[in-house]
Structure 1
Amino acid sequence: MNVVNVINEINSQTEQGITEVYLVACGGSLVDMYPAKYFLESEAKKVVTGLYTANEFVHATPKRLNQDSLVIVCSHGGNTAESVNAAKVAKEHSAHTIGLTHNKDAALNEHSDYVFLYEWGEDSDVKNNPMAIILQLVVEVLNATEGYSDYEAFQSGIEKINGIIKKGEQQVADRTKEFAEKYKDEELFYVLSSGASYGHAYGFAICSLMEMQWLNAASIHSGEYFHGPFEVTDKETPFILLMNEGRTRALDERAKTFLLEYGEKVEIVDAKELGINTIADEVVEFFNPILFYSIMCVYRAALAEVRNHPLETRRYMGKVSY
């Protein structure tokens, strides 16, 4: 499935061009959509954006959903009931739908006009993973509807990011083991970031720590840290700061300065140190979360190993009725 062709075809089927993009999913798949939300809200002058957890999209469907809307739904297994229902609701409102899944037999496919079967696993190129594909889709929406002056710089970034990640994973390998040993007995973590990466701060908290490690965790936007959350900063509480390269770096640097003065258990993961600034300044901020996802997978794997708590372990998910 070709991203450019799909978006151009959808755009040609609308009356006014694509007027809004709704990004709909649950859990980790919703996290994968946050960079696309941030991109469109930052760069689009006319196209409206909405990010919805799937069941809310079903129960509180936006009234402007119409035949010129594009609804992108992502579900790894493709059978998450809330996500399948969201795609169905979108079709009932005559919207155009794109489904992303790793499962060629997914129920989601039945309600998707176009289906992207993405790659998954350590050997895959990240540009073929859901976060990057969804970001590419909305870049094409913007380019098709309004034009995007940094289009070529973005495409160059897509080609570079996988190599940056592979070097970054090697760079943090020893550090992640030290992190795991140091924090293996902690029961609470706060995860900070800003810009396009705030979604991954949220994702690392709810998926990697809460779901996969049964640890208490919460995400904090670096810009909001000083408007309440910094009052819990002390020498005993662990903080993880994902530092972006790009326009919102100043927010992360401000948080870093405070954390290093008043905190002690502070882990800083800096995209700049990991080499992301080989991507053009105009677009680099949109690639931070793609880098952070892969790097933080190394962190969570190290933590899981030292805690003897496999990442696949669940007590409720897929085991009881909910």
Structure 2
Amino acid sequence: MDVQKTVSQLFADMDGAIGEIYFVACGGSLVDMYVSDYVVKSESKTLVSGLYTANEFVHVPPAKLGCHSVVVLCSHSGSTAETVEAARVAHRAGARTIGLTYNRKADLLEESDYSFIYEWGDEKRVHGNPMALMLDLTVLIIDQAEGWPQLPAFRRGMDIIDDVVGKAEDAVVPRAKAFAERYRDENMFYVLASGASYGHAYGFAICSLMEMQWLDAAPIHSGEFFHGPFEVTDRDTPFILVMGLGRTRELDERALRFLNEYAHKVEVVDAKELGLDVIDDSVSEFFNPILFYSVLSKYRQALSTARNHGLDVRRYMGKVEY
């Protein structure tokens, strides 16, 4: 699993003519891609990026999809039907595909020009998980395409992120337990975040709360909070504010000031408080989601225990035809 070698081979195979990167997956795998899409959009002057849920990509592929496109696809099982079909769509259009999965016998690998079998299970070893791998892949593509001055700072961040996450996980355990005890009987949560972190507000809402706990939940972008959603704020409505480091932190801080005045049930998960600020300011925002995935996993585990609702219990997923 050599990301640099794969990127070099990709550029050689495409004669350096990469114009677009599309990130395609479903559910949690799509959440893992959000930061990579964010990096391309915020950092690259030459590359176009798109983030697609796989079935939409199949039915409405981007018009620019073609021989200058790279399509990154991820499926934990490697057999998500929509994602495998999306890879076929990409191939028919002449694009190059990069597949990521945990399953060495995955169907997705058959449709991938380049592939990665990622690590899974140890939330304190995050540099080898799919989110970190795709982020590493993405910044190396940007750097090879046009140069990226922040690459040395990013590399230093990757060198220490496991240690940062491990310490943050240990620190948050008692807070997560207290959160779960306080909110065990709630049925609805709003989850706020911005910038590179917003994907994990979305992911925590749809995967951790809705899928795994059968609770109503909605992600809200901190920047959009004051353009409609804040009207639901009262002292009885629970909010989870995921505060990242970086250029959009001001959006989260504005939301926090409002919630501190008008809400009563507010849980703040702050990357700065959890030690992410040891990573250089120029790249720390890109590590927010890596930290938040592991930290919020502690919250969902604590909530699962407090509610006596196992994280693997399902009513429909894998149970019925859909």
TM norm structure 2 = 0.99
Q: Indicate if the aligned counterparts of 2:78 and 2:101 stay in contact, CA closer than 8 A.
A: yes
Alignment match, 2:277: 277
Equivalent residue pairs, number: 322
| 1:207-246 equivalences in 2 (<5 Å) | 207-246=207-246
Give the whole-Å Cα distance in 2 for the aligned partners of 1:3 and 1:15.
Answer: 18
CA gap of 1:321–1:61, structure 2 versus 1, over 3 A, is same
Please state whether the residue corresponding to 1:36 is helix, strand or coil.
Answer: helix
Q: Which amino acid aligns with 1:34?
A: Y
Alignment of 1:10-49 (within 5 A): 10-49=10-49
- Contact in 1 for aligned 2:123/2:294 (Cα 8 Å): no
Q: Distance in 2 between matches of 1:216 and 1:173?
A: 24
Q: CA deviation at 1:317?
A: 0.2
Asked if structure 1 preserves the Cα contact closer than 8 Å seen for 2:124 and 2:162, the reply is no
How far is 1:123 from its partner? 5.8
Q: In 1, are the aligned partners of 2:76 and 2:101 still within 8 Å (CA)?
A: yes
Q: Which residue of 2 aligns with 1:99?
A: 99
1:79-98 aligned within 5 A:
79-98=79-98
Counterpart amino acid of residue 300 in structure 2: R
- Is the CA contact 2:25–2:54 (under 8 Å) kept in the aligned structure 1? yes
Q: Supply the distance in 2 between the matched residues of 1:50 and 1:277 (Cα, whole angstroms).
A: 29
- Partner of 1:128: helix, strand, or coil? coil
SS in 2 for 1:257: helix
One-letter amino acid of the structure 2 residue matched with residue 313 of structure 1: V
CA distance in 1, matches of 2:46, 2:129: 28
**What is the deviation of 1:68?**
1.5
Q: Give the SS at the match of 1:32.
A: helix
- Residue matched to 2:6: 6
Compute the displacement of 1:15 (Å).
4.3
Offset of residue 16 of structure 1: 4.9
- Aligned equivalents of 1:123 and 1:208: distance in 2? 15
1:122 Cα offset (Å):
2.2
Instruction: Determine what percentage of the aligned residue pairs are the same residue.
Output: 59
User: Where do residues 256-271 of structure 1 align in structure 2 (5 Å cutoff)?
Assistant: 256-271=256-271
Asked if the contact 1:15–1:68 (Cα under 8 Å) also holds between the matched residues in 2, the reply is: no
Please state whether the residue corresponding to 1:190 is helix, strand or coil: strand
SS at match of 2:87: helix
Counterpart residue type for residue 79 of structure 2: N
* CA distance in structure 2 between the aligned counterparts of 1:125 and 1:118, rounded to whole angstroms: 11
Rounded to whole Å, the distance in 1 between the matches of 2:145 and 2:197 is: 25
Cα displacement string for residues 298-317 of structure 1 (whole angstroms, at most 9, x for unaligned residues): 00000000100000000000
Q: Report whether the alignment pairs 1:296 with 2:296.
A: yes
Q: Is the deviation greater in 128-137 or in 116-125? A: 116-125
Q: Is the 8 A contact 1:3 1:137 kept in 2?
A: yes
- Is 1:196 the counterpart of 2:212? The answer is no
The C-alpha deviation readout for 1:111-157, integer Å capped at 9, x for no partner, is 00111000001266201000000101110110110110010100111
- The one-letter amino acid paired with 1:265 is K
**2: CA distance between counterparts of 1:21 and 1:170?**
36
**Deviation per residue, 1:62-106 (Å, 9 max, x gap):** 111111210000000000000000011111111111000000001
RMSD value, Cα: 0.8
Moved over 3 A (4+): none
Tell me what 1:247 maps to.
247
Aligned pairs (5 A) from 1:110-129:
110-122=110-122, 125-129=125-129
TM (norm. structure 1) is 0.99
Task: Please state how far the C-alpha of 1:56 moved relative to its aligned partner.
Answer: 0.5
- For structure 1, the residue ranges without an aligned partner over 5 or more in a row are none
User: Could you list the per-position Cα deviations for residues 38-77 of structure 1 after superposition, in whole angstroms to 9, with x for gaps in the alignment?
Assistant: 1110000010000000000000011111112100000000
CA distance in 2, matches of 1:210, 1:46: 38
